[in-house]
Structure 1
C-alpha cells in the first residue's frame, strides 16, 4: 500500500467543515490537478465556478435541497459540462458551417470530462488535508441554479463539490465487493445474487453501527426503493432547452 493508494482507500465524504479558509493557492492547485485528468481528444469540455460569496452559497444550499454544508463550506465548486467554449472555437474558425455540439455523443464527452477532472481535483484536495463532498442536489432545481450562476447555453451544472478543512472523521462506507464489479472477458450477471447478498450483510452491519442500531436496511432494498421513484425527470427537457442532447 503506497501513499497514493492509502489516500484513495481512505476517502470519505465530509459534511462538516472547520471555520478555516481554502487559500487561493490551494484552490488553483486543486483545479490545476483536475485539469491534468484524461479527457476526450483534448476538448476539455468543462468549467468550474468557485463560489465563496456567503449569499450565493446560501441560495445554492436552498436550491440543492437545503443542504447546510453547501452554505457552511468555505468554497463550493460547481462543476459544469461546457460546450459553449467549443462552439466559440467553431464559430471562430468555421463561421457559417453547421456544428454538432447538440449530439448525445458530445453530451457524454462533456459530462465524462467533467467527472474525470472533478475526481482528480477531489484527490488533490484530500492530499492537501482538505475534505470534499459531491452535491448531486445541484440538479434538483437546475434551471434556477443555471440562471443564478449566469450559465450560457451549452453549459450545465453536473454537480457541486464542497471543499474545506474537515471538522469530522466519519466512518468509511463499505463498497461493493471487487468481484461484484470486476468481470473477466465478458459480463457475468450470474454473480449478482451472491455478491449483492454479501454486500447486503456488510451494509446492514455498517448501518447498525453508524446509527446505533436504528437502521439496518439492506443495500439492495435501498436501491430498489430508489429505482421505483422518479427522480429529476426535468433533466431531459432542461438539457434540450440548453442546447444539449438534441441529436
Structure 2
C-alpha cells in the first residue's frame, strides 16, 4: 500500500511538499507540487499629496506627523518576482479582497515583526513593531509575495512614511499577510452615515483634482466632513466631499463615523 503525506490546495497558489511511502520498509519519495495563480494587473503609482502645515513631530515609529500623504513611490510589478534570496515569489489570488495587490499600502493593527526571510525566526528578524495608535501604525508598500515552508503567505514589503513621502531605510523584508494583523491603509467604501472625521494632528487639505492638486481648503483635526462617494485612484482611494472636492481616504488621516 502507498501512504500519502501532505495535501495540495489547488485553489491556493504556492508550493506543497507531498511524500509517498510504500511497503514494509517505508520506502519514501518526496515531490514538490506547484500551484500557480493569476498574475496581478498593474496599477501604476499612487500619489496622495496632502501637504498642510510646516513643521513636524517625530513619533516612536519613525513617522512624522505633518499633513502630507504622498505615495508617489508606489509601483506595481505584475506577475512573479524574485526576492533577494533568489526564490520565486508567487502572486496569490486577490479576488477575495483579503490580499493586497502589489504596490498597495497596508498597515499593522497589532504587534508584528519584519523579517529577512519568509520563514519567521528570531535570528532573521529585522525589526519588531509594537501595537500603535492609528495615526502611528507602521505603513508598508507590498512589493511581492512569498510562502514559508508551512505554506503561509507573506508580504514582501518596505516600510513607507506617508508624512515624509519616503521609504524608511533598512526596512525591506517580509511581514505576515494575515488580515488579523495587517490591513489596507485606504478605505474602500463610503460610510453609511456619509460622514468622516479628520484624525491627523496636522489636519489635511481638500483639492479640486483626484490627484490631490489645486488645494482648496485646509481642515483641522476633529473636523467633521460629509462625503458623497469613494473614488478609486490607481492603488489608493479618495473621498469626494459633498462640495465636489477631494481628500485622501487614508485611514491614518480620517476615520469613518
Which TM class, normalised by the smaller chain length?
A: under 0.3
Bigger strand share: 2
TM-score normalised per structure 2: 0.23
TM-score normalised per structure 1: 0.23
Larger Rg: 1 or 2?
2
Bigger helix share: 1
Q: Which has the higher contact order (CA 8 A, sep 6+)?
A: 1
